Amino acid sequence: MGIGIGDITAVFVTLAAVGVVFPGLLLTWLLLLPATVERARERVTRTPWQVFFLGAIALLGMGMPLTLLNAAAGPLQFIRILSVFVLLALMSIGAAGVAAMMGERLRGQGVNVTTPGALVRGAVALEFAMVFPFVGWFIVLRVNEIGRDAWLEEQLAPETLDDWECDSRTRGMDTLWMDADLALNVRTEGIKPELQGARVLRAVYSKRQLYENVVEFWSDHFSISIDKFDCLWLKGVDDREVIRKHAFGNFADLLWASMHSPAMLHYLDNQDNFAHAPNENYARELLELHSLGVDAGYTQRDVRETARALTGWTVNQGWRRGRFEFNAAQHDAGAKTILGAALAAGGGERDGEQVFHAILAHPALPRFIARKLTRRFVADAPPPALVERVAQTFTQTRGDIKAVLRAMFDADEFRNAPPKYKRPLDFVAGALRQLDAETNAGAPIQDALTRMGQPLFQWTTPDGFPDTTNAWKNNLLPRWQFALALATNELQGTRVAWENLAHVANDASFVGALQGFSTRLLGFELPKDVADELQAQWRNLDTDLILPSALALVLASPQYQWK
């Protein structure tokens, strides 16, 4: 007897029924026992392998024997069937937890309450995983991998992330790749837009987000203003060879590179540091801002001696223009005492190297770096215990920046940290990034950043742009102006892709657009009473103004100013 049309129909109907029943069953559990499903979801998220083995044991150890064992009718049979059902019920609750987790991952945000829609989506994804094994496994595995620790590890290995999109945007910026002597021939108008533009483009488009953030941190730590004399032409080399090269490397290498950086020596006047008349600027900021901190216990005498040791560390002005050179004629060859270490006379270039070693050996170094890092990434007033632990990691790994970052991001204090106020670049680049905007990071963007108080690479003093909330929160108007300009596509060279955003709105009303954008950009909806009042106010808004107005309001909202 062949396979008739009835059989095929039956098969399809069965499959469809199963396809509907499975999500339906899981949904029922969510509606009946939401708290249990949530707990199951948490367990699955935190300890997936444990859950897997538990399920395997339950299935093999209990489920199969129970099902296969054939008992006679009667109480034993009744108990057997009841146990099977109870087991099925428990396992399907677990499956509901898995589906909930998948639903949340697919939705892409960490909201705590699972919605029915998300659960159904997750259940369907699970079904595909079961019915189409290999494809399904890739879906499941991929989604599961996007947990935070995996993300962190991926970000800490930026070379594994293919950044072709970002690179293609910065590839045309020749001055970024130039050596000093070539760069010194380029006009101001050729260099500044590329230096500032590349920073914004990388912040917006790079997949290596953590790397770019840490580059920004070190740029502020070893801050150089491009407004001072030749620094504009030399900063590109510094950015490439000092900051970007060592941002994820070792602090010792980074400091060494910075001490040899023509841009830095020029910025802090070390080329005018002579034996017969020392200039203390670089020496002072090296100790105070770059390594030890003002209360590390060093004295004015240490500053003077460090300045003497660093005489001769200068920038070539001749045929190797713009490169580091040691000028023995400028050097103070006398004996010195650096931070307690005695240096014999005639040390030459090695005097400066001794400064380097003395700094690395100084006990204040790890804590100073740790405090700066935690202040930038965790909280304005970093918890002392965290600073200690991070400092210890710094000491134990001898300045391994990745290890220090890991120690910081793995910490509970980081997980529970209150939000930090967005600096202008965070605000602008974050908005462009979240909206998938197309930008050339040109003059309008740079003007906006300047008006907000962060003209890139132009902070006048060597301490870099400030980290704390109080330094930034008093200047809201430029952010509002930017929000409006961006939402109405008035920024030349920058465009929000409206065609991709139309679906973000929950529905065609103003409040639908508002909450849609809020969810997309903030991860949560605005409070209902606020949304309702705004809806009442904007009831008669033109339809084509709904999306831009909603977007502008979310970008300008107080909630969006924090990260």
Applying CB under 8 A, the residues found at the interface with other proteins are: 269, 272-274, 276-281, 284, 288-289, 294-295, 300, 303, 450-453, 460-461, 463, 470-478, 480-481, 484-485, 488, 490, 526-527, 530, 533-534, 537-538, 545, 549, 552-553, 556-559, 561-562
Which residue, 457, 426, 437, is CA-closest to 192?
Answer: 457
Decide whether 249 or 478 has the Cβ nearer to other proteins. Answer: 478
Question: How many beta carbons lie within 10 A of that of residue 531, not counting itself?
Answer: 17
How near is the Cβ of 314 to other proteins at its closest, in Å?
12
Decide whether 344 or 530 has the Cβ nearer to other proteins. Answer: 530
Decide whether 227 or 353 has the Cβ nearer to other proteins. Answer: 227
Instruction: State the amino acid at position 406 in one-letter form.
Output: R
How near is the Cβ of 535 to other proteins at its closest, in Å?
11
3-state secondary structure 425-449: HHHHHHHHHHCCCEECCCHHHHHHH
How near is the Cβ of 234 to other proteins at its closest, in Å?
16
Contact call for residues 90 and 17 (beta carbons, < 8 A): no
Q: In b/e form, how buried is each residue of 188-197, taking b as 16+ CB within 10 angstroms?
A: eeebbbbbbb
Contact call for residues 442 and 492 (beta carbons, < 8 A): yes
Decide whether 37 or 553 has the Cβ nearer to other proteins. Answer: 553
Q: Report helix, strand and coil shares of the chain as percent, to nearest 5.
A: 65, 5, 30
Instruction: State the amino acid at position 425 in one-letter form.
Output: L
Helices 424-434, 510-522: axis angle to 10 degrees equals 120
Torsion of CA 110, 114, 118, 122, to 10 degrees: 90
Say if residue 316 is exposed, middle or buried (CB neighbours under 10 Å; 0-12, 13-18, 19+).
middle
- Residue linked to tokens 């023995």: 328
How near is the Cβ of 483 to other proteins at its closest, in Å?
9
Decide whether 9 or 461 has the Cβ nearer to other proteins. Answer: 461
Decide whether 87 or 471 has the Cβ nearer to other proteins. Answer: 471
How near is the Cβ of 529 to other proteins at its closest, in Å?
9
Decide whether 188 or 475 has the Cβ nearer to other proteins. Answer: 475
Decide whether 198 or 514 has the Cβ nearer to other proteins. Answer: 514
At 338, is the secondary structure helix, strand, or coil?
strand
Question: How many beta carbons lie within 10 A of that of residue 14, not counting itself?
Answer: 11
Q: Is the dihedral of CA 143, 148, 149, 151 positive or negative?
A: positive
Decide whether 477 or 497 has the Cβ nearer to other proteins. Answer: 477
How near is the Cβ of 463 to other proteins at its closest, in Å?
5
Q: What tokens appear for 417 in the block? A: 């940290």
How near is the Cβ of 475 to other proteins at its closest, in Å?
5
Which residue, 516, 376, 464, is CA-closest to 390?
Answer: 376
Decide whether 68 or 381 has the Cβ nearer to other proteins. Answer: 381
Decide whether 354 or 549 has the Cβ nearer to other proteins. Answer: 549
Contact call for residues 120 and 27 (beta carbons, < 8 A): yes
From CA 55, how far away is CA 91, in angstroms rounded? 7
How near is the Cβ of 261 to other proteins at its closest, in Å?
18
How near is the Cβ of 510 to other proteins at its closest, in Å?
10
How near is the Cβ of 450 to other proteins at its closest, in Å?
8
How near is the Cβ of 277 to other proteins at its closest, in Å?
3
Q: In b/e form, how buried is each residue of 373-406, taking b as 16+ CB within 10 angstroms?
A: bbbbbbbbebbeebbebbbebbeebebbbbbbbb
What is the DSSP secondary structure assignment for residue 502, as one 8-state letter?
G
